[in-house]
């Protein structure tokens, strides 16, 4: 059964005024894009949220606090029948007409709902939530047995039955925003890209949450306690860190590994920004279907306070992809230190000893000392199986080597509206606490190895509230790497 994505749940709950639960009632890809099935599954179920996904990457929909209901449908002969019949097999008991929805008609009935609103959650796959209040409450919802969920005359996705073609349902209703809902100047293009090709349509029942969430929050509400530590203390610790004597390591090598678009290059840029005191963009980052990182890079960070270079290298690779990207052979070669800085990856062939610059005899200083799985926090609920399998395969190989692993959850601010408004609430958000627990379970790592962060994306100036989660993550990585190196020394 599909679950509403955590970031959608968070913002919808905020708009609805409290922690809510969302139970899937209807899904077009599962149940068929059929008005009769929609009504059979959703009528009388109380408040609902409808989500529509289109081929342009928009997620949008509507909320109503009242239940969907049936209206009387009528055969063309004038005979009225109680709903619901099966409109594809219905036979009129009066004239015998059957088997075609064109024989049926119905009268729309408007329902009053001052609490109704329509909304957009994503814009071209980018999470940009915005909601629009009803301005004519008496026309908030249209009840029509031959239509799917209708929000006034503004949002009417489909009528009767739509067959899926080319991986989408072609909407045969209409979108005309601004009629019964206050769009504040936004039009169809802003709302949904003016696209009615639906990859899926979902309707969720909305109920009050029973309050079951991350159970390890402290008495003051924090799920992760940071004690009396502050950014200056953390930054000073990191600046003073040196690998243990006898490890033959000049600097800790931290491998950043994640799917395309997860934010691993942005994570390095954010760390660099912290220590430079201004927003930087040394590592190439952005939005693309394929990895923007095409070479293996070992980045260093210099502190603008001490003037010294940190004793940590951030090792950036191509992003993992469901179809292409780094394979296990390449990953093992990176972990074992065979790959020199600035090696260009070949997308058609794995790395081998014949590659230019291949290091056949890596020293401890060449090898990876900690692996950070960089995960887009908004995708934990729907993490790609192929990429998860690749990560699990790598974990099986490196677990025997004892190399420490952490999870960096980027875009944590987009998972929780409270954190989006105030990054300082990162460790007080039950939603983030839930996410940390889920991510740890997904990758088989304890919660103490999972670090939610916000990368610098829109900002043009640094912010101490953004620094704190980043620095806590980096300090723990250095601690884990130090333990690993100390153990390596004792085993020699």
pLDDT score, position 287: 52
pLDDT tens for the 492 residues of the chain, in order: 567 888 888 889 889 987 899 999 999 999 999 998 999 999 999 999 999 999 999 999 999 999 999 776 677 776 666 544 455 566 777 777 765 555 566 667 899 999 999 999 999 888 889 999 999 999 999 998 889 999 999 999 999 999 999 899 999 999 999 999 999 999 999 999 999 999 999 999 999 876 544 434 443 568 998 888 899 999 999 999 999 999 999 999 999 998 888 889 899 999 999 999 999 988 766 554 444 556 888 999 999 999 999 999 999 988 787 765 567 888 888 999 998 888 876 666 667 777 777 889 999 999 999 999 999 998 888 788 888 888 998 999 899 899 999 999 999 998 887 888 899 999 998 889 989 998 999 999 999 999 999 999 888 999 999 999 999 999 999 999 999 999 988 776
Query: 421 by DSSP, 3-state: which?
Result: helix
| Report field, pTM of the whole predicted structure over 0.85 | no
Helix/strand number for the chain, H first, E second? 11, 23
Q: Are 439 and 450 in contact, with CB atoms under 8 Å apart?
A: yes
Rg (CA), the chain: 27
pLDDT score, position 83: 46
Tell me the C-alpha distance between 110 and 285, whole Å.
49
Query: 279 by DSSP, 3-state: which?
Result: coil
Place of tokens 């994570």: 267
Q: Which of 149, 162, 140, 163 is nearest to 41 (CA)?
A: 149
State the burial class of residue 437 (Cβ atoms within 10 Å of its Cβ: 0-12, 13-18, 19+): middle
Q: Which of 428, 473, 437 is nearest to 454 (CA)?
A: 473
pLDDT score, position 106: 63
Q: State which CATH number among 3.90.79.10, 3.40.50.80, 3.40.630.10, 3.40.50.300 fits the domain covering 231-491.
A: 3.40.50.300
Contacts by 10-14 with C-beta closer than 8 Å and gap 24+? 10/415, 10/416, 10/417, 10/431, 11/121, 11/129, 11/417, 12/49, 12/63, 12/119, 13/209, 14/417, 14/418
pLDDT tens track for 113-144: 999 999 999 998 888 899 999 999 999 999 98
Tell me the C-alpha distance between 252 and 482, whole Å.
8
pLDDT tens track for 283-304: 766 554 444 556 888 999 999 9
Tokens at 306, concatenated: 């001490």
**Boundaries of every domain in the chain:** 6-71+107-208, 231-491
């Amino acid at each position: 059964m599909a679950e509403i994505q955590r970031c959608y749940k968070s913002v919808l709950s905020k708009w609805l005024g409290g922690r809510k639960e969302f139970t899937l009632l209807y899904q077009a890809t599962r149940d068929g894009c059929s008005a009769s099935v929609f009504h059979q599954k959703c009528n009388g179920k109380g408040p609902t949220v409808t989500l529509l996904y289109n081929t342009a990457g928009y997620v949008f929909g509507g909320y109503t606090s009242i239940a969907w209901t049936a209206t009387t449908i009528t055969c063309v002969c004038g005979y009225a029948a109680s709903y619901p019949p099966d409109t594809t097999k219905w036979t009129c008991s009066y004239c015998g007409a059957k088997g075609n929805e064109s024989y049926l008609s119905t009268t729309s009935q408007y329902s009053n709902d001052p609490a109704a609103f329509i909304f957009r959650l994503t814009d071209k796959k980018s999470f940009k939530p915005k909601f629009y209040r009803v301005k004519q409450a008496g026309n908030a919802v249209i009840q029509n047995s031959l239509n799917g969920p209708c929000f006034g005359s503004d949002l009417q996705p489909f009528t009767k039955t739509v067959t899926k073609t080319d991986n989408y349902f072609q909407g045969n209703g209409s979108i005309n925003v601004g009629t019964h809902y206050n769009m504040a100047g936004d039009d169809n293009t802003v709302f949904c890209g003016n696209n009615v090709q639906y990859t899926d349509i979902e309707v969720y029942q909305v109920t009050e949450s029973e309050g079951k969430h991350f159970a390890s929050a402290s008495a003051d509400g924090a799920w992760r306690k940071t004690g009396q530590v502050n950014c200056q203390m953390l930054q000073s610790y990191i600046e003073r860190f040196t690998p243990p004597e006898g490890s033959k390591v000049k600097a800790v090598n931290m491998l950043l590994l994640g799917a395309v678009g997860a934010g691993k290059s942005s994570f390095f840029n954010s760390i660099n920004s912290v220590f430079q005191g201004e927003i930087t963009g040394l590592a190439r980052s952005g939005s693309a279907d394929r990895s923007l990182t095409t070479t293996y890079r070992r980045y260093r960070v210099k502190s603008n306070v001490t003037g010294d270079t940190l004793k940590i290298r951030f090792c950036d690779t191509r992003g993992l992809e469901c179809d292409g990207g780094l394979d296990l052979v390449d990953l093992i070669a990176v972990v074992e230190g065979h790959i020199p800085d600035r090696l260009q990856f070949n997308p058609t062939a794995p790395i081998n000893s014949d590659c230019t610059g291949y290091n056949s005899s890596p020293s401890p200083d060449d090898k990876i000392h900690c692996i950070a799985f960089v995960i887009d926090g908004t995708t934990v609920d729907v993490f790609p199986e192929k990429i998860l399998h690749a990560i699990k395969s790598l974990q099986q190989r490196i677990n025997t080597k004892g190399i420490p692993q952490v999870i960096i959850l980027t875009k944590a601010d987009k998972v929780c509206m409270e954190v989006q408004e105030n990054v300082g609430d990162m460790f007080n958000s039950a939603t983030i606490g839930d996410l940390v627990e889920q991510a740890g379970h997904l990758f088989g790592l304890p919660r103490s190895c999972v670090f939610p962060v916000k990368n610098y994306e829109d900002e043009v100036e640094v912010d101490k509230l953004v620094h704190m989660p980043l620095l806590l993550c980096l300090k723990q990585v250095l601690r884990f790497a130090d333990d690993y190196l100390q153990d390596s020394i004792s085993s020699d």
